[in-house]
Amino acid sequence: MTTATLERNPLLDTDFIKEMVKQMRAIDSYGTYDGWPEERILAPFVKTKDERREIPVIGDPDDEILARVKAFYNAIAVLIEKECGHMAVPMINITHEGFGRVAITVGKLVALDRTLRDVHRFSFENLSKMKDEADKHLSVALEIVGKYPDVAGL
């Protein structure tokens, strides 16, 4: 008789995914996520293209979606701060129609500026794609901070 061993997804040990789990646990004021594995906590971020198409974009984005958007960009801000040593502050403004903007400032420098559309459908095909998107934003932001360190230090 053989015993099946479940291998841990190495993606779960990356800084970004660890930070995402922290962010999601931080907004869990009732302790719902206590004892949940990382995959289950991050499951709402993963949707197929068909699942996304089925989500109506009429009406206000609900609080859960807004919390997920904020957790995603907060995690990126924490990683920027960790890398450059200066406080990174995310500012998110989303209209009732699901459009808006996110900016992450480091000192007086805008390190990330992104337009948000169809926030109702904010999700990724898998955790790897979510991490890739965050890494792309992180890379650009750190490049900007590296280019203008004096402004970032203000």
Give pLDDT tens digits for 31-64.
999 999 999 999 999 999 999 999 888 888 999 9
Domain 12-152 grouped into CATH 3.40.190.10? no
Please provide the average confidence, as pLDDT, over all residues in the chain. Answer: 93
Question: Each residue of 7-40: pLDDT tens digit?
Answer: 778 899 999 999 999 999 999 999 999 999 999 9
Specify the pLDDT at position 6: 66
pLDDT reading at 2 higher than 60: no
For residues 63 and 118, give the distance between their C-alpha atoms in angstroms, rounded to a whole number: 14
Question: Each residue of 94-117: pLDDT tens digit?
Answer: 998 999 999 999 999 999 999 999
Question: Each residue of 76-91: pLDDT tens digit?
Answer: 999 999 999 999 999 9
Percent over 70 (pLDDT), the chain: 96
CA-angle at 116, arms to 107 and 32, nearest 5°: 85
Indicate yes or no: pTM above 0.95: no
Specify the pLDDT at position 5: 56
65: closest CA among 126, 125, 116? Answer: 116
26: closest CA among 83, 85, 63, 75? Answer: 75
Domain spans, the chain: 12-152
Instruction: Record the tokens describing residue 76, joined without a space.
Output: 């990126």
